Amino acid sequence: MSFVLVLLLVTQCPMHGDEVDARHDTFGMSHDAAHHDFSIFSDGGAIELRANHPADTVTIDAIRKHLAQIAASFSKNDFSSPLFVHGRVPDGVETMKRLHRRISYRYEDIDSGGRVRVTTINPKALAAVHAFMKFQIAEHRTGDRGVVEVDR
C-alpha cells in the first residue's frame, strides 16, 4: 500500500478524530470541556479555543496558556504542536515556515478562552494560512464554514 493511500485512509478514518482529540487533550484541557473554532479572514485567520462553561476557570486558564504558547511557537517558526496533535504536517505549514517572516501571530484573551490571530499581506502566505485553517476545521470537526469572513 502506498504512503499516500495509507495517509488518505488515516485521515478519513472516523477514529482519527478521536486520536486528534486525545493528543490535543495532553495540553491540559479536554475536548469535552472546550471547543475550537477556526476562522478565515481576508488577511489571515484565527484559532479560537473556548471553555464550554464560562465558570470553568481551570479550563480557561489552560486554554490561555496553551494558545499563548502556540502563538509564541509559531512566531519562532516552530509548528511541532500541530504535527504532534495531527500526526502529520498540516496543510499550509511548509509554506508558512518558508514565509514565516511574512506572517504575524498574536495571542489575545477572549471570553471564556483565547485566540491566536494570524495575519499576513503576502498572497502565498495567505493561501497557506487559509489551507492551514481549513485543515484544522476538518481535523477538529468544528463545523466552521471554511470561507472568508469578516473578523469581529
90 lies in some domain: yes
Specify the higher pLDDT residue, 2 or 43: 43
Q: Which three cell numbers stand for residue 96?
A: 508558512
Q: How far is CA 14 from CA 74, 118, 124, in A?
A: 28, 29, 32
Distance CA 131, CA 93 (A): 9
Task: Supply the mean pLDDT for the chain.
Answer: 85
Specify the higher pLDDT residue, 52 or 24: 52
Range of the domain at 122: 17-140
Q: Is the pLDDT of residue 123 over 80?
A: yes
67 lies in some domain: yes
Q: How far is CA 26 from CA 19, 22, 63, in A?
A: 11, 7, 12
115 lies in some domain: yes
76 lies in some domain: yes
Query: Looking at the 3D structure of the chain, how many domains does it have?
Result: 1
Burial of 139 (0-12, 13-18, 19+ CB in 10 A): buried
